[in-house]
């Protein structure tokens, strides 16, 4: 089902989860507004975007269940499966151009991105048209390993993009190239299968190729093909690939741009990508992620959960599950369930969560029988199993997310809630009320 972008769309259509919109829509706001209305419910396929021949898709996975289905597992096994793939990557299979649909059309001259593709404007104050869903692939010239991430890309000219590249792996490789006075070659793959899309967000040590994690998740090597103008391998079944280079010592204005916390990231001088070639499938489909929608949040949240689970397990081996909840933008709030064996373990889990990622701001730890994917249950645990006097941890002046407007340029407070029941508490005190036989009742036998 999730082998390629197109097979996944066919699957969505066959199960009634693809809303096909034939009415002509505007690139500016209207497309994003409709996709957002259907966020978490249906994927959208816009056949008529202004006068473009190229259709646009958004929201290919916008619930945890969608991602679990793409990974051929369920919500609960998804994180263990992701962890296994991150720790045992599967090398890609390089195929010839003839076997790679993305090479069906190759354009090297007179590139004009806005003429070729319906690249939308998503939010009110966005500085312009943005590519939000491209896998940004670069290569380490020393190890030849590739690195994959997603970066927002502002269309700054006919063949020029402005990129936000936060200080992680891509940034590191770019800085190395820039210090040597060289550009960093890159390729941007738009419209890949949802498994490869999710794999691009894995939190890995430097030097791990996320396309190899995609292979491990798919149980078969991902087919890749060498680009035309850069030394980069891209998914052979991508809808569209933009080839280019990040220029050394060039910075130009980018932003503002509506970001995952539902606020704008500011305008400032950022890195510039010069496009050198475009390749695409016949009848290509453009793909956009509406920022701050469930697709965006979960794409960051699920791989973060995998990483968080591993960090907590090092100190609290009985951790059962973790959840980066959408209300916390799938980045700032972590809900953790543990089987507490020793008093104090919940607090250790809180510290481990803070250590896992600077983005994590509030941590709630509950006992294993609380369903951490049901936020009403989590609130109930806070309401009835938590006393600030002894169960609250607060740390001030720690590094947090710069995109959290309540911080002082990223510096802010962290807070942890220990909502586990004391081990020595009297048994009736925290006994959850239950109606015997409740789970076995089939209402259809009682109501017609
Ligand atoms: N990271 C950035 O640095 N800049 C961005 O503009 C950006 N936009 C993103 C948009 C989407 C839809 C998603 C899902 C993620 C985005 N990210 C962005 C996060 C990175 O892609 C992610 O952290 C990635 O794992 C970084 O990989 P790296 O550490 O290998 O470089």
> 219-224 contacts: CB < 8 A, separation 24 or more?
219/90, 220/90, 221/90, 221/91, 221/92, 221/93, 222/90, 222/92, 222/93, 222/196, 223/92, 223/93, 223/95, 223/99, 223/100, 224/92, 224/93, 224/94, 224/95
Place of tokens 């009634």: 16
Q: What percentage of the chain carries pLDDT values higher than 70?
A: 100
Whether 32 lines ligand 1, by a CB cut-off of 6 Å, is: no
Q: CA 156 → CA 126, 128, 247, 253, distances in Å?
A: 13, 8, 14, 9
Average pLDDT over residues 64-89: 95
126, 150, 152: which to mutate for ligand 1, most atoms within 8 A of CB? 150
Whether 166 lines ligand 1, by a CB cut-off of 6 Å, is: yes
Q: Which uninterrupted H or E stretch holds 398?
A: strand 392-399
Per-residue pLDDT tens over the stretch 242-264: 999 999 999 999 999 999 999 99
- Asked if domains 77-284 and 295-418 share a fold, the reply is no
> Which pLDDT score is estimated for 266?
95
Per-residue pLDDT tens over the stretch 121-141: 999 999 999 999 999 999 999
Q: What is the residue with the minimal CA distance to atom 19 of ligand 1? A: 150
> Which pLDDT score is estimated for 15?
96
> Residue 12 pLDDT > 90, yes or no?
yes
Give residue 369's pLDDT band: very low, low, confident or very high (50, 70, 90): very high
Per-residue pLDDT tens over the stretch 412-424: 999 999 999 999 9
Give residue 16's pLDDT band: very low, low, confident or very high (50, 70, 90): very high
Average pLDDT over residues 381-401: 98
Q: Which residues contact 140 (CB under 8 A, 6 or more apart)?
A: 146, 147, 173, 207
151, 188, 268: which to mutate for ligand 1, most atoms within 8 A of CB? 151
How many angstroms does the Cα of residue 277 sit away from the middle of ligand 1?
Answer: 23
Structure tokens at 6: 């197109």
Average pLDDT over residues 134-154: 97
Q: Is 174 exposed, middle or buried (0-12, 13-18, 19+ CB in 10 A)?
A: buried
Give residue 448's pLDDT band: very low, low, confident or very high (50, 70, 90): confident
Cα separation, 324 vs 328, in Å, equals 7
Asked if residues 20 and 45 have their Cβ atoms less than 8 Å apart, the reply is: yes
Domain ranges of the chain: 77-284, 295-418
Place of tokens 């052979």: 236
Return mean pLDDT, the chain: 97
Q: Which residue has the higher pLDDT, 258 or 2?
A: 258
Average pLDDT over residues 426-436: 96
> Which pLDDT score is estimated for 214?
98
Nearest one of 115, 149, 112 to 134, comparing CA atoms: 149
Give 295-418's CATH code, choosing from 3.30.160.100, 3.40.1670.10, 1.10.3720.10, 3.50.50.60. 3.40.1670.10
Nearest one of 364, 362, 360, 361 to 381, comparing CA atoms: 364
Q: Report the residue count for the chain.
A: 448
* 3 state SS of 133: coil
Ligand 1 nearest-atom number relative to CA 152:
6
Per-residue pLDDT tens over the stretch 163-219: 999 999 999 999 999 999 999 999 999 999 999 999 999 999 999 999 999 999 999
> Which pLDDT score is estimated for 195?
98
* 3 state SS of 233: strand
> Which pLDDT score is estimated for 75?
85
149, 188, 265, 297: which to mutate for ligand 1, most atoms within 8 A of CB? 149
Q: Which fold is adopted by the domain 77-284?
A: Pnp Oxidase; Chain A (2.30.110)
How many angstroms does the Cα of residue 170 sit away from the middle of ligand 1?
Answer: 9
> Residue 2 pLDDT > 90, yes or no?
no
Give residue 347's pLDDT band: very low, low, confident or very high (50, 70, 90): very high
Whether 402 lines ligand 1, by a CB cut-off of 6 Å, is: no
Cis before residue 256, ω within 30 degrees of 0? yes
> Which pLDDT score is estimated for 94?
98
Cα separation, 285 vs 366, in Å, equals 44
Give residue 76's pLDDT band: very low, low, confident or very high (50, 70, 90): confident
Q: What is the residue with the minimal CA distance to atom 4 of ligand 1? A: 151
Average pLDDT over residues 420-436: 97
Q: What is the residue with the minimal CA distance to atom 18 of ligand 1? A: 151
Complex ipTM: 0.97
């Amino acid at each position: 089902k999730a082998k390629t972008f197109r097979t996944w769309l066919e699957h969505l259509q066959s199960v009634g989860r693809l809303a096909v919109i034939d009415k002509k829509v505007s690139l500016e706001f209207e497309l994003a507004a409709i996709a957002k209305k259907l966020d978490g419910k249906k994927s959208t396929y816009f056949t008529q975007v202004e006068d473009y021949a190229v259709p646009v898709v958004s929201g290919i996975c916008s619930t945890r269940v969608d991602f679990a289905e793409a990974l051929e597992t369920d919500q609960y096994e998804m994180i263990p499966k992701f962890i296994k793939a991150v720790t045992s990557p599967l090398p890609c299979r390089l195929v010839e151009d003839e076997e790679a649909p993305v090479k069906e059309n190759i354009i090297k001259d007179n590139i004009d991105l806005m003429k070729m593709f319906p690249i939308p404007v998503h939010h009110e104050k966005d500085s312009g048209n943005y590519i939000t869903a491209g896998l940004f692939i670069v290569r380490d010239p020393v190890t030849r390993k590739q690195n994959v991430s997603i970066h927002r890309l502002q269309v700054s000219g006919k063949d020029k993009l402005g990129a936000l590249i936060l200080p992680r792996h891509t940034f590191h490789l770019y800085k190395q190239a820039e210090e040597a006075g060289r550009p960093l070659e890159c390729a941007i793959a738009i419209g890949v299968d949802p498994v490869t899309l999710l794999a691009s967000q894995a939190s890995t040590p430097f030097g791990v190729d996320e396309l190899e994690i995609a292979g491990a998740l798919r149980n078969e090597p991902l087919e890749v093909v060498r680009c035309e103008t850069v030394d980069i391998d891209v998914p052979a079944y991508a809808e569209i690939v933009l080839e280019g280079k990040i220029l050394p010592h060039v910075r130009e204005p980018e932003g503002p741009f509506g970001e995952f916390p539902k606020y704008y990231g500011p305008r400032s001088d950022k890195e510039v990508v010069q496009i050198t070639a475009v390749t695409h499938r016949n009848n290509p489909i453009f793909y956009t992620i509406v920022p701050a929608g469930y697709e965006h949040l979960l794409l960051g949240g699920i791989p973060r959960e995998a990483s968080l689970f591993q960090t907590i397990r090092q100190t609290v081996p009985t951790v059962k599950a973790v959840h980066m909840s959408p209300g916390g933008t799938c980045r700032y709030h972590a809900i953790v369930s543990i089987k507490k064996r020793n008093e104090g373990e919940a607090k250790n889990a809180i510290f481990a969560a803070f250590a896992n990622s600077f983005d994590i701001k509030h941590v709630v730890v509950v006992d294993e029988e609380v369903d951490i994917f049901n936020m009403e249950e989590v609130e109930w645990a806070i309401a009835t199993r938590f006393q600030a006097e002894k169960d609250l941890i607060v740390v001030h002046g720690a590094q947090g997310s710069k995109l959290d407007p309540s911080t002082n340029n990223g510096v802010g407070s962290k807070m942890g809630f220990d909502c586990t029941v004391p081990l020595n508490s009297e048994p009736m005190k925290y006994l959850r009320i239950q109606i015997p036989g409740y789970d076995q009742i089939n209402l259809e036998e009682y109501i017609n």
